[in-house]
């Protein structure tokens, strides 16, 4: 696996993980248990945990070859990916104000890490 493939897989998988988690915590009526213990019964939450783990592992693989100052600005694309996925799979409505906020945050991250 090439380092940049690992990097992009890590970003996409990490974004999917957030969608899985939201699906998991939004599930209703999973027995009488409350709180965190209840979450263990959700397949979505397990999917989140595995995705999170593999995204982290792929991130480490990528970082062993790619410079941090190159990898970090790309990480901010995860905010856009999560926003698009949440529109499609969670039916979240995203106002123009929120899109603008997301783009400004991406710009900020790129500026923070892109200029060495």
Give the whole-angstrom CA distance, residue 67 versus residue 79: 21
Instruction: Mark the segment that binds another protein (CB under 8 A) among 1-9, 57-65, 102-110.
Output: 102-110
Choice from 6, 11, 16, 21 touching another protein (CB under 8 A): 21
> Cα 27–33–39 angle (5° rounding)?
45
Q: Kindly provide the residue ranges of all beta strands, DSSP E only, lying in the chain, ordered along the sequence.
A: none
26 contacts another protein (rule: CB under 8 A): yes
DSSP 8-state secondary structure symbol assigned to residue 64? T
DSSP 8-state secondary structure symbol assigned to residue 59? H
Task: Show contacts with another protein in window 38-77 (CB under 8 A).
Answer: 38-39, 76
* Binding residues vs another protein (CB under 8 A): 18-19, 21-22, 25-26, 28, 34-36, 38-39, 76, 78-79, 82-83, 86-87, 90, 92-95, 97-98, 100-116
């Amino acid at each position: 696996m090439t380092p940049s493939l690992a990097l992009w897989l890590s970003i996409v998988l990490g974004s999917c993980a957030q969608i899985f988690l939201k699906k998991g915590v939004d599930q209703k009526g999973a027995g009488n248990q409350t709180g965190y213990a209840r979450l263990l019964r959700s397949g979505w939450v397990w999917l989140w945990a595995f995705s999170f783990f593999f995204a982290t592992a792929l991130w480490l693989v990528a970082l062993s070859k790619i410079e941090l100052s190159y990898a970090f600005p790309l990480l901010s694309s995860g905010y856009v990916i999560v926003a698009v996925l949440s529109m499609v799979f969670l039916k979240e409505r995203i106002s123009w104000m929120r899109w603008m906020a997301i783009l400004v945050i991406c710009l900020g991250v790129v500026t923070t890490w892109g200029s060495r």
